[in-house]
Amino acid sequence: MAERAPRPTESERLAPPGPGRLFTLLYGIFAVGATSRAAVQLLERASYAPVAYGLSALSALVYVVGFVLLLRWGHPGSRRAMRTLCLVELTGVVVVGTLSLVRTDLFPDATVWSDFGIGYLFLPAILPLLVLRWLHRGRSGGAG
């Protein structure tokens, strides 16, 4: 009879358990979407809205890094790095969201974070808050 492979340990998981799997999926979707958007914007008309398109590229980088961190969940430092990334992401959403309303001249075209992510059902503003809550619950012994 063939030996059964041992079940992966927590540190060997490819993605975090519970809600972390949904967050991994969402960060993956946003990574592809934001990267595609930024690439098209920068390749086709970079001079039209350089600030907005540069910020689109920054948001793409944030989502790609978040996706990779979630995929490497069992590696040391992933949790802390994800917390930091979420704080950077939330700061970006608040700053870009505010600027896109106050300094419309800088944003003739939208970014992922414009108007606090309204074009994406406010998920760019909500997602880092949910992940931070999940990270906090996991640290304090809650589910996750």
Ramachandran region, residue 111 (left: φ > 0; alpha: ψ -120 to 50; beta: rest): beta
Closest CA to 56 of 31, 37, 72: 37
Which whole-number Å values give the CA distances from 100 to 55, 60, 78, 87, 139, in the listed order?
11, 18, 32, 19, 35
Q: What is the pLDDT of residues 83-124, one digit of tens each?
A: 999 999 999 999 999 999 999 998 899 899 999 999 999 999
Q: Which of 52-56, 70-74, 89-93 shows the highest mean pLDDT?
A: 89-93
Alpha-carbon span 8 to 25, nearest angstrom: 20
pTM, full prediction:
0.84
Map tokens 């979420």 to a residue: 86
Q: Give the pLDDT band (50/70/90) at residue 143.
A: very low
